[in-house]
Amino acid sequence: MFRKKPKIDPIVQQREKLQELGSRLQNIRTEKGLSLDVVSRKTMIPRRLLEAIEMGQMENLPEPIYIRWLIKQFAETLGLDGVAFSSEFQVHVKPQTTSSNFLRLPNFQLRPFHLYFFYILLLLFSVRTISNVLEQSTLEINRLPSPVVPSVKPSPVPQPTPVQAVTATNPPAKTELDKSVIVDIQLKDDSWLKVISDGKKEFEGLLPSGTHRTWKADKELTVRAGNAGSVFITVNKEQAKQLGQPGQVEEVTYTAN
C-alpha cells in the first residue's frame, strides 16, 4: 500500500521562511552597525514592522504580498539585492475553483497595516516631488524685485464723542472659545490621522511621534485616529486627554460649547 504524503501548509512554509530571512537581515544589520531606528528612517517603515520581520512574527505584519515588499526595502537598505532576496518569500495565491467564484470579491479585511503601507508608498513617491517644488519656489521668490513701500501720512485721529451713561447692563461679549472649537493634538507615537472641520477634510495622513498640530472649527471638529493610544487631545485649552487604547481606531467629534 502506498501512503499519501502529508500536505505542507503554505502558511507554515511562509512563517518558517520569514523567520529565516528575518534572522539573516538581523545578522547583516548588526554586522553593519545599523540600528532599527536608522533603518526605519531610511526606509520610511515603522520600527515595529522591522522588528516583526526580524522576529518572524507574521501575526504582526500585513498580507504576504506586502511582507515581500517590506523585506525588499529592508534588504536594499542593507546593500543587498532586494528583488532576489525578497523573492525567497513565496506569496501563495489560492486559485479559483469554479467560474461562479469569478464575480466574488476576495475575503479581504482592511487593517491598520494596510494604511501604513499605502502611506509609506505615498511618502516615498512624494518626498522628491515636494523637495523639487519647494526649491523651485524659493528660486522664483528670490528673483522677484523687492516691493517699494509708499510713504503714507498718518490720518488725523477723530476725537471721541461723549457717550451718555447707560443704566442697563449689557451681556458680556462671547470669547473666541465660546464661538468655536479649538483642538490641540500631540502624538506620543506614530499614528494615522483624519481631521474634518465643519464638514471639510482638513488633513489625512501618517504623522510621526512627537507631532504637535492644532485645528479649529466654527461648529464641530471630528478626529479619527488609527492608533488612538498615542493621541492626546486638548479641547479649548482644557486638560489633555488620551483619545483611546493603543492600536485601536477611534473617532471623536467635538462641538462648540
Which DSSP letter does residue 228 get? Answer: G
> How much is the pLDDT for 163?
46
Count of other CB atoms within 10 angstroms of residue 39? 19
Burial of 36 (0-12, 13-18, 19+ CB in 10 A): middle
Q: Which grid coordinates belong to 28?
A: 547583516
* Mean pLDDT of the residues in the chain: 78
Pick one of 1.10.260.40, 2.40.30.10, 1.10.3470.10, 2.40.40.20 as the CATH number of 10-92.
Answer: 1.10.260.40
> How much is the pLDDT for 95?
47
> How much is the pLDDT for 227?
86
> How much is the pLDDT for 251?
93
pLDDT tens digits, 153-204: 556 665 655 545 444 455 545 455 557 888 888 988 888 879 999 999 999 9
Torsion of CA 68, 248, 193, 224, to 10 degrees: 140
| Per-residue pLDDT at 149 exceeds 60 | no
d(CA 241, CA 97): 52
Query: Across residues 80-93, what is the average pLDDT?
Result: 89
Sheet holding 231-235, edge to edge: 212-217, 181-187, 231-235, 241-242
